[in-house]
C-alpha cells in the first residue's frame, strides 16, 4: 500500500484573497533576502508615482500617462489620450515631461510595454527600442517591452 502524500495540490478558479496574499507575501520576503533593492522595498521604499495629464480649459481630464519611478527606472504603465488630441504632439510632450521628471529623480532608464495594435512605432520614434517580444500574445499579435536610456 502506498504511503499518502503529506501535501495536496488544489486547483481553483475562485480567487481567495488570503491565499493570494500569502503567496505575494512569501515572494516579497524571499526577494528581500536576495536583493538589497527588494529588501528596501519590503521596508517601505516603494515606487513613487509620476503622472502627467492633459486637461481642457474647464479642467476636464482628456488623457495622460500613469508612471512610477523606482530603482533608477521610469516605468510607463498606462498611456491614453482622447481621440481629439491624437496626432498633435501631446503624447510626445507627455512622455518628455515624465522623462524630464524621472531624470530629476535620478532615473537613467525608462521602460514601457505595448501591443502590436497599439503604439510601438510611437515609442520607437521617441528613442525607445524593443528588448522583448512575445509573439502571438494576443493570438495573431505581439506584446513588446521597450526601453530607453535617459542619460
What is the chain's length?
151
User: Domains in the chain: how many in total?
Assistant: 2
Q: pLDDT tens-digit profile of 43-75?
A: 666 789 999 999 999 999 999 999 999 999 999
Q: pLDDT tens-digit profile of 4-30?
A: 888 887 888 888 899 988 888 888 888
Q: Cell 491624437 identifies what position?
A: 86
- Domain extent, residue 89, equals 47-149
- Kindly report the pTM of this predicted structure: 0.83
Q: What is the mean pLDDT of residues 123-128?
A: 98
Q: Do 117 and 145 belong together in one domain?
A: yes
Q: Do 59 and 105 belong together in one domain?
A: yes
Amino acid at each position: 500500500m502506498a504511503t499518502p502524500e503529506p501535501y495536496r495540490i488544489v486547483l481553483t478558479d475562485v480567487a481567495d484573497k488570503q491565499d493570494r496574499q500569502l503567496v505575494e507575501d512569501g515572494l516579497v520576503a524571499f526577494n528581500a533576502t536576495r536583493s538589497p533593492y527588494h529588501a528596501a522595498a519590503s521596508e517601505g521604499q516603494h515606487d513613487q508615482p509620476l503622472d502627467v495629464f492633459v486637461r481642457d480649459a474647464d479642467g476636464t481630464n482628456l488623457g495622460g500617462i500613469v508612471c512610477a519611478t523606482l530603482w533608477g527606472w521610469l516605468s510607463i504603465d498606462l498611456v491614453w489620450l482622447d481621440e481629439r488630441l491624437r496626432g498633435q504632439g501631446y503624447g510626445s510632450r507627455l512622455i518628455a515631461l515624465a522623462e524630464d521628471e524621472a531624470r530629476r529623480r535620478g532615473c537613467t532608464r525608462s521602460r514601457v510595454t505595448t501591443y502590436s495594435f497599439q503604439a510601438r512605432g510611437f515609442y520607437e520614434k521617441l528613442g525607445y527600442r524593443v528588448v522583448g517580444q512575445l509573439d502571438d500574445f494576443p493570438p495573431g499579435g505581439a506584446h513588446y517591452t521597450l526601453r530607453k536610456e535617459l542619460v
